[in-house]
Amino acid sequence: MQLRPGELPLLQQAVQQLCGVALDDSKGYLIENRLGPLAERFGCGNFNELYFKLRYGGDSKLTQEVVDAITTHETSWFRDAAPFEALQFKVGPESLDARARAGTPKKLRIWSAAASTGQESYSIGMVLCDIIPDIAGWDIQILGTDISKASIATAEKAVYAEHEVARTARPQSIQKYMERTAGGWRVKDQVRRLCQFRQFNLMDPMSTLGPFDIVWIRNVLIYFDKPARADIMRRVRSTLLPHGWLFVGATENLVDLGPEWVPQAHCRATVYQPNLPLPMPVRR
């Protein structure tokens, strides 16, 4: 199915309303390739019909399938490596120290936003198991959220194919915290019990989330336009504790969002602590 004149703006509008993703005019091929077969399967003769079914049809299955088709589910174990080193050697230990000073030791809350099929959440859990020897006696929760219902279902199963497990910067962690099972590799209970998953759209209110010590929202902001990006990060910031840390993708930069977004470099990773008091200006 090919886009006809006037249909691209309609689908751009529909996608942005559903999940906040901003598709520019160069993404017509993506709509044709990903939504064309889906539209035909739901009985649409063209993209105009698909738009009206999305806007007025009330078909939740169609809506979810469009979201699943248009959003990116690219992920891997310990993706980019540097953030996990920063978690292990800087952010994790300092978060634990901050909790101890606040009178809430042995407690940690982490949010993996846009968690896809769970590899990031479980990778975080593996790092925490490495740095906290008695972690079974701690109150630790890693919340993984994603807009895709199918991705969340995969994450909850915690079983991954051989080729998915092979893509990792830390093969020793895979050997330590996963076990062979029918269909591939399964995350061991020691890590699984730290993680929970739920479907969540970043455009929705975040008042029921948090507060968090650490938020990971990596490689997702690039799909939003600037107003949506600024709004999301304003609300993400509200979920962070005063000492809270934020990880974004390697190519994502937040300095244009305001003076509170001061980047820090640790273990080759860029992180933020937007709720720290701003330094007083120096008078000359």
What confidence tens digit (pLDDT) does each residue in 27-71 have?
Answer: 888 899 989 998 999 999 999 999 999 988 888 889 988 888 887
Residue 284 lies in a domain: no
Phi, psi of 247 (to 5 degrees): -105, 135
Q: Do 159 and 39 belong to one domain? A: no
Q: What is the length of the chain?
A: 284
Residues 147 and 98 both lie in one domain: yes
Give the domain-ending residue among 70, 102, 123. Answer: 70
> Where in the sequence is the domain holding 245, given as residue range(s)?
82-272
pLDDT 10s digits, 15-32 = 888 888 888 888 888 899
Looking at the domain assignment, is residue 100 inside a domain? yes
Cα–Cα nearest to 62, from 77, 72, 49, 75: 49
Cβ count near 66 (within 10 Å): 24
Clarify whether residues 43 and 135 are in a common domain.
Answer: no
How far is Cα 203 from Cα 147, in angstroms, rounded to an integer?
10
Strand-pairing partners, residue 160, are: 185
Entry pTM: 0.86
Q: Who has greater pLDDT, 194 or 114?
A: 194
Domain shared by 23 and 87, yes or no: no
Assess whether 61 and 87 both reside in one domain: no
Given a contact cutoff of 8 angstroms between Cβ atoms, the answer to whether 60 and 68 are in contact is: no
One domain for residues 187 and 96: yes
Structure tokens at 248: 């974004």
| CATH number for position 231 | 3.40.50.150
pLDDT in tens, 180-221: 998 899 999 999 999 999 999 999 999 999 999 999 999 888
Find tokens 């992920």 and name the residue.
Answer: 75
Q: Domain check: are 41 and 176 in the same one? A: no
d(CA 248, CA 250): 7
Q: ∠133-182-73 over CA atoms, to 5°?
A: 75
CA-to-CA dists, residue 65 to 15, 24, 54, 158, 247, angstroms:
12, 21, 11, 22, 29
For residue 89, being part of any structural domain is answered with yes
Strand duo 212-216 + 107-112: pairing: parallel
The answer to whether residue 146 is domain-embedded is yes
For the chain, the domain total comes to 2
Q: Which helix or strand (DSSP H or E) is residue 272 part of?
A: strand 269-272
Cβ–Cβ < 8 Å for 241, 209: no
Distance, in Å, from the CA atom of 95 to the CA atom of 90, rounded to the nearest integer, reads 8
Statement to judge: residues 132 and 187 lie in one domain:
yes
Using DSSP's 3-state secondary structure scheme, residue 81 falls into: coil
Q: Is the pLDDT of residue 282 over 60?
A: no
Tell me the longest C-alpha to C-alpha distance in the chain.
70
* CB half-sphere exposure, 133, CA atoms < 13 A: 0
DSSP at 280 = P
Measured in degrees and rounded to the nearest 5, phi and psi for residue 82 equal -55, -45
**Is the distance from CB of 47 to CB of 11 less than 8 angstroms?**
yes
Distance (Å, whole) CA 39 – CA 23: 18
pLDDT for the residue numbered 281: 58
Residue 279, pLDDT above cutoff 70: no
Q: Does residue 1 sit within a domain?
A: no
Same domain, 110 and 197: yes
pLDDT tens digit string along 82-100? 999 999 999 999 999 999 9
**How far, in whole angstroms, is CA 28 from its chain's centroid?**
25
> 149 and 182 in one domain?
yes
